[in-house]
């Protein structure tokens, strides 16, 4: 069995989760009409389509028009223009009449992980033993670091000085710029500066989605000089703490490695799995042509 065919280690305690209902009130951000409206307002030619329980986006590229929905409820498709329609189901596995499996371009992420804050005053108690131990290790070194709110440009500049490939730097910097353009002040940038020098050596970006009491992990970086002090735990701890203060219930950690994904995703997925994860492994997206 090859590496990419093995079951992720962090799923061993989550077997059967696919059959469990989501926590009451939980929604994937692409189900949220307000979230989609912010995206549509920031992109020329985009518009929100669909109806309650199944909202989507419609956009055009040259002569082609596309729609994408994320829901377990089948989209109600209006006559509209000729277009390609993609439907990402959450747990539903049947294939209604008129739909068929999409190609590899329709499934950008195979699996996501999220957690629910059920104990706002002691959120960290739901973390794994390893996660709680690393949090204590960071707190012992916290005096060497100053936690601060930073700007988009400071985040991008700090990201540019990481050892990531030029392609990955360009991709993530573009994604972060686009999300900030769409969601404005709902995107939060939090940094870690070394107290002795004031140098920014780590940072993270999160998107708050108040309409569904959720916050989404967007991106982060940690310079080599800061890794031994576990400052990434400090950033995650800050996210949990401030989210609970804002009344946010769900933290979406985004993509997790699943069989078929690039192997380099697995290390960070294992790290994120410390924080009391629930997992959603998406069924294949469906497609139809109008």
What value does the mean pLDDT of the chain take?
A: 89
Q: What domains are defined for the chain? A: 3-110+284-289 (no CATH), 118-248 (3.40.630.30)
How far apart CA 38 and CA 212 sit, in angstroms, is 14
Query: Which residues sit opposite 113 in a β-bridge?
Result: 279
pLDDT reported for residue 160: 93
Write out pLDDT tens, residues 45-99: 999 999 999 999 999 998 999 999 999 999 998 888 899 999 999 989 999 999 9
Average pLDDT over residues 110-137: 93
Phi-psi region of 198 (alpha: psi -120 to 50; beta: other; left: phi over 0): left
Asked whether residue 18 carries a pLDDT value surpassing 80, the answer given is: no
> Is the separation of the CB atoms in 243 and 117 below 8 Å?
yes
- The model's pTM: 0.90
Quick check: helix, strand or coil at residue 26? Answer: coil
Write out pLDDT tens, residues 174-233: 999 999 999 999 999 999 999 999 999 999 999 999 999 999 999 999 999 999 999 999
CA–CA distance from 255 to each of 110, 134, 217, 269, 273 (Å)? 8, 22, 10, 8, 11
pLDDT reported for residue 262: 80
Q: DSSP string spanning 100-127?
A: EE--GGG-S-SEEEEEE---GGGGGGGS
Percentage of the chain lying above the pLDDT 90 cut: 71
pLDDT reported for residue 106: 60
pLDDT reported for residue 17: 55
Token couple for 2: 């090859």
Q: Could you tell me which residues come within 8 angstroms of residue 175 by beta carbon, excluding any fewer than 6 positions away?
A: 218, 219
* Residue 109 pLDDT grade (very low, low, confident, very high; cuts 50, 70, 90): confident
pLDDT reported for residue 16: 47
Write out pLDDT tens, residues 142-178: 999 999 999 999 999 999 999 888 898 899 999 999 9
Token couple for 173: 């910097």
Asked whether residue 20 carries a pLDDT value surpassing 90, the answer given is: no
> Is the separation of the CB atoms in 207 and 183 below 8 Å?
yes
How far apart CA 214 and CA 205 sit, in angstroms, is 14
Determine the straight-line distance between the first and last CA of the chain, rounded to whole angstroms: 41
């Amino acid at each position: 069995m090859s590496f990419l065919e093995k079951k992720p280690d962090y799923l061993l305690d989550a077997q059967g989760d696919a059959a469990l209902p989501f926590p009451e009130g939980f929604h994937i951000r692409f189900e949220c009409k307000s979230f989609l409206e912010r995206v549509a307002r920031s992109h020329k030619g985009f518009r929100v389509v669909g109806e309650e329980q199944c909202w989507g986006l419609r956009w055009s590229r040259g002569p082609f028009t596309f729609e994408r929905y994320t829901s377990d409820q089948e989209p109600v498709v209006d006559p509209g223009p000729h277009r390609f329609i993609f439907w990402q189901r959450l747990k539903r596995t049947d294939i209604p009449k008129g739909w068929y499996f999409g190609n590899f371009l329709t499934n950008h992420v195979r699996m996501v992980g999220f957690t629910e804050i059920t104990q706002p005053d002691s959120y960290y108690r739901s973390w794994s033993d390893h996660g709680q131990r690393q949090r204590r290790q960071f707190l012992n070194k916290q005096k060497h670091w100053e936690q601060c709110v930073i700007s988009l440009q400071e985040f991008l500049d700090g990201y540019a000085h990481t050892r990531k490939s030029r392609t990955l730097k360009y991709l993530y910097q573009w994604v972060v710029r686009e999300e900030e353009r769409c969601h404005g002040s709902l995107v939060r940038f939090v940094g870690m500066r070394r107290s002795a020098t004031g140098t920014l050596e780590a940072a993270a970006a999160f998107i708050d989605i108040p309409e569904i009491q959720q916050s989404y992990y967007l991106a982060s970086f940690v310079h080599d000089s800061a890794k031994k002090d576990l400052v990434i735990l400090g950033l995650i701890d800050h996210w949990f703490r401030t989210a609970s203060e804002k009344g946010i219930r769900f933290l979406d950690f985004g993509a997790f490695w699943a069989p078929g994904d690039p192997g380099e995703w697995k290390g960070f997925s294992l790290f994120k799995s410390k924080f009391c994860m629930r997992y959603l492994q998406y069924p294949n997206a469906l497609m139809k042509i109008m």
